[in-house]
């Protein structure tokens, strides 16, 4: 992990907390994502108590971990957010749109602060306006006008303590009660904290350190606040097993119990929602009094909170974080296993199965188990599209507000899974398509009402499996594409656009480099940079883009992608002594070439008629300069393949069969080869090229 800045040093000089940094950063990111999603979905006119409680818990979890590790800037901002959210969930304040805006901007600032602490570098973030706005809202005043938190360059100095962690100036005497514990030695971990963190104070046992009921009792001299102590202690012991009270007082308080502090401190929140869940060696709290309500909440209600939390805790414990490098290595090894299995299968075809029945049965089992293993391992990299879809509601909310439009965002098929490598590469193109729909597609409310439409437009983002591909559609009910405007713009830029062009050909004009129909260049769009890059990126993934539009009613953009880039189903074809692989999803049909079916046009171009449709003919022997030694079986079969809305007929010598192939990156291991998207290793050890059908279709058009 990168260097940690000076203001994010460990909370202690004696204990090394850096080993837990990565877990904290990952969970803090998840909590911020969850909080943002819930803020976007909240109904401010009728906010649900559980929604507010859940948002509060997210902010508190981030604050607890940040205070433990000494990230004071993060703790300060989350403390103020937590105070505002606590007043909302207690119904002391009513939620408003400005409050949601400030909380969302605070989440953005926290991400920047966490990235800086994680070692990403960059200047310190100025959150003065955000803090002022939150304090104003707490007092029932109008918020300060908040712009995006600006980075400020400051001299590195000792960080100011968070408001929550401000230590009292005087030394305090407290009684610490711990237990009953399933593992009594855990109390020793708390004692060790005082020797490892000199500034924490001193601790000594009372009455031998253990009472008759199994509780451990200690006298603590400290200048730290109760919330700081509890946050630190629950790093080793479950929250409900710790109680702090003035020395000599006859009772203690647990989280949420009568007599606990009334401020929204960790003493009232279930620690199992926070970072400490996954801290190595920390026992999982089964859920203390985390539900909203008065301080005098009945014990019966707290028991119910425990029961409701238990399934979630069990679910979290069933997950395991593994680095993507390890998963990629596993997938690569399975790919090699697939190649080895194919080699054994090819060589065993020469052996008499009657003489080697046991070996044949073993190879059949190996074939089945290899395929099952490959599918299982590939599923590890498959992640739901909800990971991509979740980033668009916030973006659309901000963009629609900036453009003065009203937009409803609808998602479908969020559970549809796609390879993680594909997800990372498809996010930017989808972002541009969604922004395009909001900026160019959806009209202003007054304009929509004048057309008889509802003033609120709808953008729908959906994903579904179709065959061996995934189809992602971005659809809006805006003004659609104007055929006349597109053709006029194309002719203005010198692009050949005859009136005989079909609608699909006209719509495809927007993919031309530098092509834009925007009348005004803004910071949102209109520079003619975008749609051409979208198509280029999707094509590089082996995908296609199709546009459908009805002027005045809306527009649809469909992106079709292979499910994974690591292993694919392919059809092997032979040309001379060479073997080529065609993606099975691109193959339409194959047939024997009959004399006279191939026609020559324009002197050199050749076409073939298939059921009334003419399509260009490409001879792989000529494209790849394949040497010919056997002329008896020359180019006797034609394979029809399609991509990017076009079809091409490929002349080959023979069809060798269908098989799964492991895709290897040819460009990374050799160099870029025209009309080739990758390579694979065959069962006999030879390298076979995987053809880029889209490139072949473009070649036939030229």
Dihedral over Cα of 338, 339, 344, 345: its sign: positive
Angstrom distances, CA of residue 655 to CA of 319, 339, 574, 594, 620? 45, 20, 6, 17, 13
User: What's the pLDDT at 427?
Assistant: 83
541/596 Cα distance (integer angstroms)? 38
Average pLDDT of the residues in 377-388? 83
pLDDT interval class at 320 (50, 70, 90)? confident
pLDDT interval class at 15 (50, 70, 90)? low
Average pLDDT of the residues in 450-473? 86
User: What's the pLDDT at 524?
Assistant: 53
67/226 Cα distance (integer angstroms)? 13
Q: Which of 348, 362, 349, 472 is nearest to 422 (CA)?
A: 472
Average pLDDT of the residues in 277-289? 37
Non-local CB neighbours of 7 within 8 Å, separated by 6+ positions? 70, 71, 72, 73, 117, 124, 156, 158, 159
Would you call 472 helix, strand, or coil by DSSP?
strand
pLDDT digits (tens, 9 = 90+) for 349-361: 778 888 888 888 8
Dihedral over Cα of 62, 65, 71, 77: its sign: positive
Half-sphere exposure of residue 541: CA atoms within 13 angstroms, side-chain side: 28
User: What's the pLDDT at 582?
Assistant: 92
Cα 102 from chain centroid (whole Å): 24
Non-local CB neighbours of 300 within 8 Å, separated by 6+ positions? none
> Is the Cβ–Cβ distance between 240 and 255 less than 8 Å?
yes
Lowest-pLDDT choice from 447-456, 571-580, 597-606: 597-606
Residue 515 in tokens? 């092509």
Would you call 382 helix, strand, or coil by DSSP?
strand
pLDDT at 373 over 50: yes
pLDDT digits (tens, 9 = 90+) for 466-517: 756 788 999 999 998 888 888 888 888 777 778 878 888 888 888 877 666 6
pLDDT at 8 over 60: no
> Is the Cβ–Cβ distance between 284 and 182 less than 8 Å?
no
Residue 319 in tokens? 């997950």
Task: Tell me: cis bond preceding 180? Omega within 30 of 0 counts.
Answer: yes
User: What's the pLDDT at 444?
Assistant: 92
Non-local CB neighbours of 639 within 8 Å, separated by 6+ positions? 571, 573, 582, 587, 589, 590, 649, 650, 652, 655
pLDDT at 19 over 70: no
pLDDT at 563 over 80: no
Q: Where are the alpha helices (DSSP H) in 42-174?
A: 49-69, 72-89, 97-115, 128-138
Mean pLDDT, the chain, as a whole number?
75
Residue 398 in tokens? 């901000």
Non-local CB neighbours of 199 within 8 Å, separated by 6+ positions? 12
- Residues in the chain, total: 702
User: What's the pLDDT at 475?
Assistant: 93
User: What's the pLDDT at 121?
Assistant: 62
* DSSP state letter for 175: E
pTM above 0.75, yes or no: no
Average pLDDT of the residues in 10-34? 70
Q: Which of 370, 387, 377 is nearest to 327 (CA)?
A: 377
Q: Which of 86, 88, 94 is nearest to 256 (CA)?
A: 86
User: What's the pLDDT at 459?
Assistant: 94
Q: Which of 290, 166, 296 is nearest to 227 (CA)?
A: 166
> Is the Cβ–Cβ distance between 387 and 416 less than 8 Å?
no
pLDDT interval class at 113 (50, 70, 90)? confident
Q: How many CB atoms lie within 10 A of CB 17?
A: 16
> Is the Cβ–Cβ distance between 420 and 383 less than 8 Å?
yes
Average pLDDT of the residues in 563-582? 83
Average pLDDT of the residues in 223-240? 74
pLDDT at 112 over 90: no
Query: Exposed, middle or buried: residue 87 (CB in 10 Å: 0-12, 13-18, 19+)?
Result: middle
**Sheet containing 456-466: which strands, arranged edge to edge?**
406-412, 456-466, 469-476, 554-562, 544-550
pLDDT digits (tens, 9 = 90+) for 169-181: 467 788 888 877 7
Dihedral over Cα of 7, 8, 11, 12: its sign: negative
> Is the Cβ–Cβ distance between 433 and 510 less than 8 Å?
no
User: What's the pLDDT at 287?
Assistant: 36
pLDDT digits (tens, 9 = 90+) for 401-452: 888 999 999 999 988 888 887 887 888 888 888 988 898 889 999 999 999 9
Non-local CB neighbours of 276 within 8 Å, separated by 6+ positions? 64, 65, 234, 235, 282, 285
Lowest-pLDDT choice from 2-11, 449-458, 517-526: 2-11
Would you call 473 helix, strand, or coil by DSSP?
strand
Q: Percentage of the chain with pLDDT > 90?
A: 8
pLDDT interval class at 40 (50, 70, 90)? confident
Cα 98 from chain centroid (whole Å): 27
Average pLDDT of the residues in 279-296? 36
pLDDT at 614 over 70: yes
207/215 Cα distance (integer angstroms)? 11
pLDDT at 119 over 80: no
**Cross-strand pairs, 544:** 560
294/91 Cα distance (integer angstroms)? 11
Query: Exposed, middle or buried: residue 327 (CB in 10 Å: 0-12, 13-18, 19+)?
Result: middle
Residue 421 in tokens? 């490598």
End-to-end CA distance of the chain: 50
Q: Where are the alpha helices (DSSP H) in 318-349?
A: 324-348
Residue 67 in tokens? 């205070």
């Amino acid at each position: 992990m990168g260097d940690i800045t000076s203001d994010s040093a460990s909370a202690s000089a004696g204990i090394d907390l850096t080993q837990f940094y990565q877990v904290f950063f990952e969970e803090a990111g998840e909590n911020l994502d969850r909080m943002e999603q819930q803020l976007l979905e909240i109904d401010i006119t009728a906010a649900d108590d559980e929604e507010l409680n859940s948002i509060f818990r997210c902010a508190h979890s981030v604050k607890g971990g940040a205070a433990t590790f000494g990230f004071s800037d993060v703790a300060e901002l989350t403390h103020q957010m937590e105070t505002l959210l606590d007043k909302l969930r207690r119904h002391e304040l009513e939620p408003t749109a400005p409050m949601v805006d400030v909380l969302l901007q605070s989440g953005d600032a926290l991400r920047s602060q966490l990235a800086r602490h994680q070692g990403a570098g960059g200047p310190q973030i100025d959150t003065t306006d955000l803090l002022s706005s939150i304090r104003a809202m707490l007092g029932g005043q109008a918020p300060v006008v908040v712009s995006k938190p600006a980075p400020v360059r400051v001299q590195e100095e000792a960080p100011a303590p968070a408001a929550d962690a401000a230590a009292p100036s005087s030394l305090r005497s407290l009684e610490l009660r711990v237990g009953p514990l399933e593992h009594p030695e855990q109390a020793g971990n708390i004692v060790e904290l005082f020797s490892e963190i000199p500034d924490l104070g001193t601790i000594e046992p009372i009455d031998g350190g253990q009472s008759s009921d199994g509780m451990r009792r200690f006298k603590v001299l400290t200048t730290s606040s109760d919330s700081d102590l509890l946050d630190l202690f629950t790093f080793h012991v479950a929250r409900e097993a710790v109680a702090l009270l003035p020395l000599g007082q006859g009772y203690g308080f647990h989280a949420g119990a009568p007599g606990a502090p009334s401020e929204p401190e960790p003493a009232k929140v279930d620690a199992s929602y926070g970072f400490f869940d996954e801290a190595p060696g920390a026992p999982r709290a089964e859920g203390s009094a985390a539900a909203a309500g008065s301080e005098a909440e009945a014990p019966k209600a707290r028991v119910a909170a425990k029961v409701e939390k238990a399934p979630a805790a069990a679910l979290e414990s069933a997950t395991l974080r593994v680095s993507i490098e390890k998963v990629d290595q596993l997938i690569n090894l399975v790919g090699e296993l697939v190649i080895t299995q194919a080699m054994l299968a090819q060589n065993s075809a020469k052996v008499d199965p009657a003489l080697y029945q046991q070996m044949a049965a073993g190879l059949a089992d190996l074939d089945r188990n290899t395929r099952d293993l490959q599918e299982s391992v590939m599923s590890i990299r498959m992640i739901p599209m909800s990971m991509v879809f979740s980033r668009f509601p916030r973006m659309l909310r901000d963009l629609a507000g900036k453009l003065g439009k009203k937009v409803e965002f609808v998602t479908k098929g969020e559970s549809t899974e796609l390879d993680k490598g594909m997800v990372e590469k498809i996010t930017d193109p989808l972002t541009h398509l969604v922004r395009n729909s909001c900026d160019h597609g959806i009209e202003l409310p007054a304009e929509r009402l004048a057309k008889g439409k509802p003033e609120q437009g709808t953008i729908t983002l959906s994903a579904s499996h179709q065959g061996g591909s995934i189809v992602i559609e971005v659809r809006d009910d805006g003004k659609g594409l104007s055929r006349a405007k597109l053709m006029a713009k194309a002719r203005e830029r010198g692009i050949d656009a005859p009136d005989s062009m079909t609608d699909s050909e006209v719509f495809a004009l927007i993919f031309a480099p530098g092509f834009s129909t925007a009348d005004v260049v803004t910071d949102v769009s209109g520079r003619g940079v975008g749609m051409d890059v979208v198509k280029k990126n999707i094509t590089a993934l082996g995908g296609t883009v199709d546009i459908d539009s009805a002027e005045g009613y809306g527009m649809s953009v469909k992106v079709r992608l292979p499910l994974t880039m690591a292993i694919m189903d392919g059809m092997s074809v032979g040309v001379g002594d060479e073997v080529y692989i065609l993606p099975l999803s691109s193959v339409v049909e194959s047939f024997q070439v009959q004399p006279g079916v191939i026609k020559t046009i324009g002197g050199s171009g050749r076409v073939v008629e298939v059921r009334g449709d003419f399509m260009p003919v490409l001879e792989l022997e000529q494209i790849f300069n394949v040497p010919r030694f056997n002329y008896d079986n020359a180019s006797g079969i034609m394979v029809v393949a399609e991509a990017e809305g076009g079809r091409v007929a490929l002349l080959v010598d023979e069809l060798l069969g269908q098989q799964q192939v492991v895709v290897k990156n040819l460009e990374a291991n050799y160099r870029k080869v025209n009309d080739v998207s990758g390579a694979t290793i065959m069962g006999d050890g030879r390298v076979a090229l995987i053809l880029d059908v889209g490139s072949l279709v473009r070649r036939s058009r030229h």
